Amino acid sequence: MEKKSGTPQEIAYDEIKDFFDSAPPLRDGNTVCKKLHEFLETNSSSTGNHINNYRVVCVTSGGTTVPLEQRCVRFIDNFSSGHRGATSTEYFLKAGYSVIFLYRRESYQPYCTSLPDNPLLECFEMTDESFVQVHPSHSDAVKKAISNHQAAVKGGHLLKLPFCTIFEYLQILQLIATSMKNLGPYAMYYLAAAVSDFYVPWESMAMHKIQSASGPLDMRLAQVPKMLPVLRNDWAPMAFFISFKLETDRDILLKKADMALKKYKMHVVVANELLTRKEEVTVVTPTGNISVRRDKTKGVTDVEGPLIKLLVEKHSAHIEDSIKCS
Ligand code: PAZ
C-alpha cells in the first residue's frame, strides 16, 4: 500500500477525504438534508429580535455494518442493540431537548423498549375477523408508547434518521453536523453507536456475491479513519461532546476512556463494560470520574435516567461558560 506523506493531521484529513470520496453516494441524501433543515428551522425560531436557542442533541444508536460485497449478501456486524440510544432519547426529550436520533435500522426505538419483542403479534388480538384490539395486558404500555412518540414527532422534537452501513452512518453524521453548526454550544453529540473500526473500501470490494468454490476467504480490512477529531474540531467546534468507550477487559477500560477524553478533546467519555453496561457506567470527565448505577432499591429502573440527568447539568455549565467567553 502506498505510504502517505505530510503531517499526521494532513494524513488524517486525506484519509477522511478518501473515505468520503470513495463511499457509495447516500441514496436519499437530499431527503435527509431537507428533513434536517425543516427540523432545525422548527427548533431555532426567532421572536422579534430575540433568537430562541433550543437545545438539540444528536443521539447515535446501534451498530454499523460493514458490507463485504457491493451487491451485499454478506456483511460484518456487531452486538449493539440500540437500547441505550433509544432509552437515552426518551430522557433527553423529557428534559426538554429536541433529538436527532441517528439509529441502525431495526434496532430499538424510543418508547418501544419495554414492549414485547414482537409487538404487532403479541400486543394485539383479533376479536372477530374484522376487528383488531390491543390486548388488555399491554394496553397501558401501547397507549403510552404511541402518545409519547406522537407528541415528540408532532411537536417537532424528534427526528429519526436510519442508517445501516458504516458509509451511511458517517455520511449522515456529517450532514447532521453541518446542519447543526449554527446552534453553537446548544448542540450536543451523544455518540452511543457502536461504530466499526475496520471496513472494506468500496473500490476494492467484490461487486457480486463472493463464491465459496475457490476455498477459504482471505480478506484484508482497512481501518476506518478516525472521524471524531474532525467532528469535534471542524464540523461542530462549539458543541458539547459525549463519546462512549466499550471494552470487555475491565483493566483497560478507564485508561482507554481517559485517553479518548484527552486525545479527542471530549467533554465526557462514558465508559462501559460489555456484560455490565445496563447496570453501571463510569462518566469520565476532565475533573474526575463519576460512577452511575442502576439502583433498583432506590426505584432507578435504568442507568440512562441518572446518566442523562448528569449530562444535562454538564451541558448547562458548558453553555454558561461559552456565553461568558463570547
Ligand atoms: O446498544 P446497546 O444498548 O446494546 O449497547 C450500548 C453500547 C455498549 C453500544 C454503548 O454504550 C457504547 O459503549 N457505544 C460505543 C461502543 C464503542 O466503543 O465503539
- In the chain, what is the greatest distance between 2 CA atoms, to the nearest angstrom? 72
Give 112 Cα–ligand 1 centroid separation in angstroms: 18
pTM for this model (two decimals):
0.95
Where does the pLDDT of residue 3 fall: very low under 50, low under 70, confident under 90, or very high at 90 and above? low
Ligand 1 center–CA 3 separation, angstroms: 33
Alpha carbon of 77 to ligand 1 centroid (Å) = 13
Q: Ligand 1 pocket: which of 272, 273, 284 to mutate (most atoms <8 Å of CB)?
A: 272
- Residue of 250 and 48 predicted with greater confidence: 250
| Ligand 1 nearest atom to the CA of residue 83, by list position | 3
Q: Is the pLDDT of residue 283 over 60?
A: yes
Radius of gyration of the chain (CA): 21
pLDDT band at 1 (very low <50, low <70, confident <90, very high): low
**Which atom from ligand 1 is nearest to the alpha carbon of 246?**
18
Give the separation between CA 167 and CA 174, rounded to whole angstroms.
Answer: 11
- Band (pLDDT 50/70/90 cuts) for residue 314 is very high
Ligand 1 neighbours, Cβ below 6 Å, are 80-84, 192, 194-195, 244-246, 272, 277
What confidence score (pLDDT) does residue 299 get? 74
**pLDDT band for position 50 (50/70/90)?**
low
CA of 197, closest atom in ligand 1: 19
Q: Which residues of 5-26 are buried (b: 16+ CB within 10 A; e: fewer)?
A: eeeeeeebbebbeebeeebeeb
Give the residue, by CA position, lying nearest to ligand 1 atom 13: 246
The answer to whether 221 and 199 have CB atoms below 8 angstroms apart is yes
- Using the predicted structure, report yes or no on whether residue 91 has a pLDDT greater than 90: yes
Q: Measured on CA atoms in the order 256, 163, 66, 235, is the torsion positive or negative?
A: negative
What is residue 43's predicted lDDT score, i.e. its pLDDT?
Answer: 87
Lowest-confidence segment of 54-68, 129-143, 147-161 by average pLDDT: 129-143
In 3-state terms, the chain is what percent helix, strand and coil (to 5)?
Answer: 40, 25, 35
pLDDT tens-digit series, residues 152-193: 999 999 999 999 999 999 999 999 999 999 999 999 999 999
Residue 61 CA neighbour count, 13 Å, CB half: 27
149-152 own/partner pairs: CB under 8 Å, 24+ apart: 149/110, 149/111, 152/93, 152/99, 152/110
Which DSSP helix (H) or strand (E) runs through 112?
none
Q: How far is CA 6 from CA 146, 235, 283, in A?
A: 54, 22, 36
What sign has the CA pseudo-torsion 113, 246, 321, 227? negative
Distance 187 CA to ligand 1 centre (A): 21
C-alpha to C-alpha distance for 94 and 88, rounded to whole angstroms? 10
Distance CA 307, CA 58 (A): 16
- Which residue owns the Cα nearest ligand 1 atom 6? 84
| Closest protein CA for atom 14 of ligand 1 | 192
Spacing, Cα 273 to ligand 1 middle (Å):
9
Parallel, antiparallel, or unpaired for β 198-199 and 75-76?
unpaired
**Separation of CA 277 and ligand 1 centre (Å):** 8
Distance 65 CA to ligand 1 centre (A): 14
Cell numbers 460489555 label which residue? Answer: 274
Determine the pLDDT at residue 168.
Answer: 98
Q: With a cut of 0.85, is the ipTM above it?
A: yes
Choose which residue among 244, 308, 311 to substitute to test ligand 1 binding: the one with the highest number of ligand atoms within 8 A of its C-beta: 244
Element (H, E) at 101: strand 98-104
Residues 193/61, Cβ–Cβ less than 8 Å: yes
Q: Looking at residue 2, what is its pLDDT? A: 59
Q: What's the chain's average pLDDT?
A: 93
Question: Ligand 1 centroid to 279 CA: how many Å?
Answer: 13
- Is the pLDDT reported for residue 46 higher than 70? no
- The closest residue, in CA terms, to atom 19 on ligand 1 is 194
Highest average pLDDT, of 5-14, 50-59, 179-188, comes from 179-188
User: Per-residue pLDDT averaged across 214-226, rounded?
Assistant: 93
Q: What percent of the chain has pLDDT over 70?
A: 97
* Residue 102: strand, helix, or coil: strand
Provide mean pLDDT across the span 294-310.
89
